[in-house]
Amino acid sequence: MNRATLTLLALLLICALSLVAAQQRARKLFIAQERAQIEERKLNQEWLRLEYEQRNLSKSARIRDVARNQLHMVPISPERTLYLKEAQ
Amino acid sequence: MRPVGFSTTPNLVLRLPMWRSRLMLFLLFFVFMMLLLRAFWIQGPGNAFYEAKGVRGTQRELELPASRGKILDRNGQVIATSLEAKSIIAYNDTVPDDLAADKVQKLASLLQISESELRKKLKDERKQIFLKRQVDPEIAQQIKQLEIPGIGLNNEYRRFYPDGEAMAHVVGFTNVNDKGQEGMELSREKELAAHPGQRRVVVDRLGRVVEDVAIEQLPQNGKDLQLSIDSKIQYLAYNAVKSAVEQHHAKAGGAVVLDTQTGEILALANYPSYNPNDRRNLSGEQLRNRVLTDTFEPGSTIKPLTISIALEKGAVTPNTNMVIGASYLVGPKPITDTHPYGNLTVAQVIQKSSNIGTAKIAMNNLSPEEMWDFYTAVGLGQAPKIGFPGAVAGTVHPFNKWMPTDQARIAFGYGISASLFQVARAYTVFARDGELVPLTIERSPEVKQGTRVLSAKTAIEMREMMETVTEPGGTAVKAQTEGYRVGGKTGTAHKLVGKGYGNSYRAYFAGLAPISAPRIVVAVMIDEPTGGSHYGGDVAAPVFSTIVGETLRTLNVLPDNKVKQMVLDDKSPAEIRTANVQTQHVALKR
């Protein structure tokens, strides 16, 4: 065996090992990406749910109920309203 | 003779024929060739079958979920949204027959069905059966924790409508498969619908995803839809209609609020309504969007339109004096008024809602063709193009078929039909100084160009006449709104029952506000009020007043009427401003 063959063999071995390593890394990254995607979906859902919840808590029916019954507020009427005009 | 050994006797020499070994050789060669061919076939052209087998073992198709678009109101508030839910599936050949009783009991209570019903479902012949759909994720998690073999969870979506009844007729609802069934959910199904994607992955022995093979279809979320509806105004309109229907023991009611500048529909309320979050027990009565799908004889609400034609022609002016009298005979039956009037000006004909006056103006000055042209120009007899399912056109019969008696009655709103929505739309002509505005239910806040159908002069004159309707002496004093000048027209129409007019009525009020610079058109209809009065001025006008007042305040429209205003601007001298603020404090302390 001459030197050229030996060098090539070594190169081949290095390539083979780095291929294995790269594949391993690809798998790991893929799993991480997969997890991140699931997380993203979850957060998206969570956001939608919170948006819905916020809307539910801020809907007119509830505001009216709370204002009238808990805070004892009354509807505004024009003669008790002060209108401010923007400076021209 | 040469001696021959026993073992070498030529008689014992077997001479095998040559062909037998050849045959053997050939057969062996042939079989090996066959094997080779087969191997070649499996490796090459016939590979697909085995590849498919291999793929089935290691690859899976996974769905990439996509959600249906949200529906938002004009301020970006959610009025319909899809949240994740689970469907509970039983794979009946996997569910053990001797399932522990306590597990069945727990599952039944989580699914909110009876134990016997659940057992029946589990005994079902079908291999897989939905136990329940659209289950709350938390409950689904508890079901999963029971760890019953053969009970699986599937992802799906459930639609939520935070505004419930108030918005039901506008948004509509979807079915369990997330397909629109009514309202905007149905008419905008194409844009709202979600298109789930699909991807192919490699899984390991335990079913975990190891590698992506390909994304076969990208998931496409549905587009969000922003409506012109203002959920606050919608809510208050719905409440106003609801309380009026209850107060007058009426059958139903509806109201519509239009923005005259942008042509946007701000509210579209109907009562009775339904809860779109709970789609059981829905009946046709509740589902009807009366504002758009019910046509009725518009009655007196059409008088301003008829008289506008005469004003536009210059045939009459608001001050033209007319002899009214107790009855007016056109055709077989005389036309009468609720109260007999002697003489009225044209303005008073509107103010008092005189049938005779309107009929006389029409008969003396207008041709059927002119009337037909105008009614058609303001949208009567044509379905409004706002992309709503089931919006009706109403009827305006061809003018060449009108007999004089028809013409006289059509002039004050009998013998033609329209939906409340069409009446409201026609009234935008008066609000926009003679222009008919194209309407939309999607948010588009820019001021729209209208189609001119009347001169500004006529429209303004009519607006002022309509204001007198709400002033003392008019038919709808109850339409007065604190802080704002309003105008409109009452309507009380006998309902057609079979072939004739029965004893039930519809009360309407259609109008606009504020008169000085109209911002909104509001039309209200109460169907079959029975408690006490059935007149539009008594039943529908107060609803109009409530809606107008609250809507204009919501829209921050400055009051324009006689109520003492306290407007502060930087031009007011300082002492007046402080004085005003003090008055205000006093007022607030009261």
The minimal CB distance from A85 to the residues B67, B553, B568 is found for B568
Which residue out of A48, A49, A53, A86 would a mutagenesis test of the B interface target, given it has the greatest number of B Cβ atoms within 10 Å? A48
- pLDDT computed for residue B6 by the predictor: 67
- pLDDT computed for residue B388 by the predictor: 82
- pLDDT computed for residue B199 by the predictor: 86
Which helix (H) or strand (E) is B13 found in, with range?
A: none
Residue B233 and residue B211: Cα distance in Å, rounded?
52
Q: Which residues of B are catalytic?
A: 300
Q: List, for residues B228-238, the tens digit of each pLDDT value.
A: 999 999 999 99
- pLDDT computed for residue B239 by the predictor: 92
- pLDDT computed for residue B4 by the predictor: 66
The CATH superfamily of B62-226 is Penicillin-binding protein 2a (Domain 2) (3.90.1310.10)
Give the alpha-carbon dihedral of B38, B43, B47, B51, to 10 degrees. 130
pLDDT band at residue B125 using 50, 70 and 90 as cut-offs = confident
- pLDDT computed for residue B582 by the predictor: 45
- pLDDT computed for residue B585 by the predictor: 43
Contact B176, B133 (CB under 8 A): yes
Q: List, for residues B217-229, the tens digit of each pLDDT value.
A: 888 889 999 999 9
What is the ipTM metric for this complex?
A: 0.76
User: Do the chains contact at B559 and A78, CB–CB below 8 Å?
Assistant: yes
User: Do the chains contact at A78 and B209, CB–CB below 8 Å?
Assistant: no
Q: List, for residues B238-297, the tens digit of each pLDDT value.
A: 999 999 999 999 999 999 999 999 999 999 999 888 888 887 777 777 788 888 888 888
pLDDT band at residue B570 using 50, 70 and 90 as cut-offs = low
- pLDDT computed for residue A88 by the predictor: 59
Over residues B378-403, the mean pLDDT reads 86
Domain borders along chain A are 32-71
User: Do the chains contact at B166 and A80, CB–CB below 8 Å?
Assistant: no
> Which residues from B are below 8 Å from A27, CB to CB?
210-211
What is the Cα B508 distance to its own chain's centre? 23
Alpha helices per DSSP H over B281-342: 284-287, 290-293, 303-313
Over residues A42-49, the mean pLDDT reads 90
Q: What would the two tokens of residue A67 be? A: 């204002």
With a cut of 70, say whether residue B575 has pLDDT above it: no
Domain borders along chain B are 62-226, 231-554, 563-590
What Cα–Cα distance (Å) separates residue B158 from each residue in A52, B80, B135, B220?
Answer: 12, 10, 9, 17
Contact B271, B252 (CB under 8 A): yes
Over residues B112-140, the mean pLDDT reads 81
> How many CA atoms are closer than 13 Å to the CA of A25, on its beta-carbon side?
6
- pLDDT computed for residue B51 by the predictor: 83
Over residues B537-557, the mean pLDDT reads 90
- DSSP-derived 3-state class of residue B242: helix
> Which residues from A are below 8 Å from B166, CB to CB?
60-61
Residue B287 and residue B284: Cα distance in Å, rounded?
5
The CATH superfamily of B231-554 is DD-peptidase/beta-lactamase superfamily (3.40.710.10)
Give the distance from residue A70's alpha carbon to the nearest chain B alpha carbon, in angstroms: 20
Residue B504 and residue B529: Cα distance in Å, rounded?
8
Residue B341 and residue B354: Cα distance in Å, rounded?
8
Global pTM value: 0.80
* Cis, bond preceding B514 (omega within 30 deg of 0): yes
Query: If you ran DSSP here, which 8-state letter would residue A69 be given?
Result: I
With a cut of 70, say whether residue B71 has pLDDT above it: yes
| Mean pLDDT value across chain B | 85
Query: Counting Cβ atoms within 10 Å, is residue B46 exposed (0-12), middle (13-18) or buried (19+)?
Result: exposed
The minimal CB distance from A87 to the residues B566, B570, B590 is found for B570
> Could you say which residues from 7 to 36 on chain A have a Cβ atom under 8 Å away from some Cβ of chain B?
27, 30, 34
